[in-house]
Amino acid sequence: MNRNIIITGGAGFIGSHVVCLFVNKYPDYHIINVDKLTYAGNLANLTDIENAPNYTFIKADICDFDKMVSLFAEYNIDGVIHLAAESHVDRSIKDPFTFAHTNVIGTLSLLQAAKNQWKGNYADKRFYHISTDEVYGSLQFDGTFFTEDTAYSPHSPYSASKASSDHFVRAFHDTYGMPTVITNCSNNYGPYQFPEKLIPLFINNIRHSKPLPVYGKGENVRDWLYVVDHARAIDVIFHEGKIAETYNIGGFNEWKNIDLIKVIVKTVDRLLGNPDGHSLRLITYVTDRAGHDLRYAIDSNKLKKELGWEPSLQFEEGIEETVRWYLDNQEWLDNITSGEYEKYYQEMYKG
C-alpha cells in the first residue's frame, strides 16, 4: 500500500533511526521528514538515505501551523509519526518556555493540521505520538514498574510538557475521533545521540580526559533500550497498534548511573588501549539535578503480549557497539561539539 507519512524530528537521535528504517523497509511509502534543525537536528545522521527516491526532507518548525497545513495538503499525508521535541531535561530547567512551545504548541499544531486535512475521514489514517516514561514521575527502589495505567506525575518542565502533549493527543481522539496512538519509552542509547546526554557525553569526555560529572551520588536508576529496538517497536506499533491505545516500551534493563558509568569507562579504556581503570579518576560528583527523578522502570509486557515486540539486543552487546560507534565517528562528535554546543557546555559548569 502506498502511504505518505510525515516523520517529525527525523534529523534527531531517535527520529533519524526511524526515518532510515522506514525509507529502507518500505519503498512504497513516501517519507517526509519535517525537522526545524535545532541544535539537536543533524542531517549528517541521514546520509545513508538522503538520496532515496521515497524520501523528502523539509526544514520547518512544527509550531508553524500554516506551514503544517500546507504540507499535509501538498503531500496528501495519511500518517504521522511525531518525534520532534525539545528532549533534554537539563535544558528544560533553564528554559521551560521553549519546551512548552515546541512540545505542547508544536504537537497541537500538528494535530490540528491533521484534523483539517482528514476532515473526519479517518479510514487508513494514523497519528502516532512518541512520548516518554518520564511523564509517570519517579519510582522508589521497591521493584515496581510503570505500566500503561500508572497515573501521570511529571516533575521536570520537560516531562510536564510531554505529559501535556500526550493529553492533547488523547483529547483529539476522544473529541474528534482522530485515530491516535501513544507510546512511552524508557532511556534510549546508541549511535547519533547528541553528546549532552549521559552516554555519549561521557564517552566524549573520556576521549578528551575531561571530568565526568555525576549528578548527586550517582544512585539514580534508568532503564536503557538500544535505539534500533525502539525504532523496531515504532514500526510495529505504527502498523499494528490499536487506535487510542498507549504502549510502554522498555528494555527491562535497569542500571544505577554510577554502575553504568563504570561500564562505559571500562569499555572506552579497553577500546582506546588504556590500562583497566585508567579513566575512573575522571569521575567527579557534582550538584544534583533539580527535581531529579530517582528511578524509572518500564513494564513493556503489554507490547510483548499484544504485538510480539521485545528487545533484540543484550545490553552488553549494545553498549560495546555504541562505544565503538562514537570512537569510530569522532568527526561526527567533533563537528557537534566544536561550536555553539561547547559554549553551552561550559556554561553548564562541566568544562
Q: Which residues bind ligand DAU (CB under 6 A)?
A: 87-89, 132-134, 186-187, 197-198, 201, 213-215, 220, 222, 257, 289, 296
DSSP type of residue 134: G
Q: How far is the CB of 177 from ligand DAU (least distance, A)?
A: 28
Dig out the grid coordinates for 86 from the structure. Answer: 525539545
Give which of ligand NAD, ligand DAU, none residue 57 binds (C-beta under 5 to 8 Å, depending on kind): none
Contact assessment for residue 185 and residue 249, using Cβ atoms and an 8 Å cutoff: yes
Choose the catalytic residue: 134, 148, 254, 299.
134
Q: Is 337 in the site for ligand NAD (CB under 6 A)?
A: no
- The 30-69 site mask, x for binding ligand NAD (CB under 6 A), equals -----xxxx-xx-------------------xxx------
Tell me which residue has its CB nearest to ligand NAD.
Answer: 12
Is there a catalytic annotation at residue 133? yes
Nearest to ligand NAD of 106, 213 (CB atom):
106
Give which of ligand NAD, ligand DAU, none residue 296 binds (C-beta under 5 to 8 Å, depending on kind): ligand DAU
Render the burial of 221-252: b for 16+ CB within 10 Å, e for the rest: bbbbbbbbbbbbbbbbbbeebeeebbbbbbbb
Give which of ligand NAD, ligand DAU, none residue 41 binds (C-beta under 5 to 8 Å, depending on kind): ligand NAD
Identified binder of ligand NAD from the candidate list 33, 87, 138, 156, rule CB under 6 A: 87
Nearest to ligand DAU of 179, 213 (CB atom):
213
Starting at the earlier edge strand, list the strands of the sheet with 221-226. Answer: 187-189, 221-226, 254-256
**Strand 55-59 and strand 29-35: pairing?**
parallel
Nearest to ligand DAU of 167, 289 (CB atom):
289
- Which of 203, 188, 172 is closest to 110 using CA atoms? 172
Q: Is 185 in the site for ligand NAD (CB under 6 A)?
A: yes
Is there a catalytic annotation at residue 75? no
CA distance 202 to 223: 18
Give which of ligand NAD, ligand DAU, none residue 297 binds (C-beta under 5 to 8 Å, depending on kind): none
The 3 state secondary structure assigned to 24-93 is HHCCCEEEEEEECCCCCCCHHHHCCCCCCCCEEEEECCCCCHHHHHHHHHHCCCCEEEECCCCCCHHHHH
Sole residue written with cell 539486543:
313
DSSP 142-175: SS--B-TTSPP---SHHHHHHHHHHHHHHHHHHH
Dig out the grid coordinates for 7 from the structure. Answer: 516523520
Taking the alpha carbons at both ends of the chain, their separation in whole angstroms is 51
Is there a catalytic annotation at residue 134? yes
Nearest to ligand NAD of 17, 279 (CB atom):
17
Q: How far is the CB of 98 from ligand NAD (least distance, A)?
A: 9
Q: How far is the CB of 239 from ligand NAD (least distance, A)?
A: 19
CA distance 315 to 317: 5
Q: Where is 325: in which H helix or E strand?
A: helix 315-328
Give which of ligand NAD, ligand DAU, none residue 14 binds (C-beta under 5 to 8 Å, depending on kind): ligand NAD
The residues binding ligand NAD (CB under 6 A) are 8-9, 11-15, 35-38, 40-41, 61-63, 83-87, 102, 106, 130, 132, 162, 185, 187-188, 194
Residues marked as catalytic: 133-134, 158
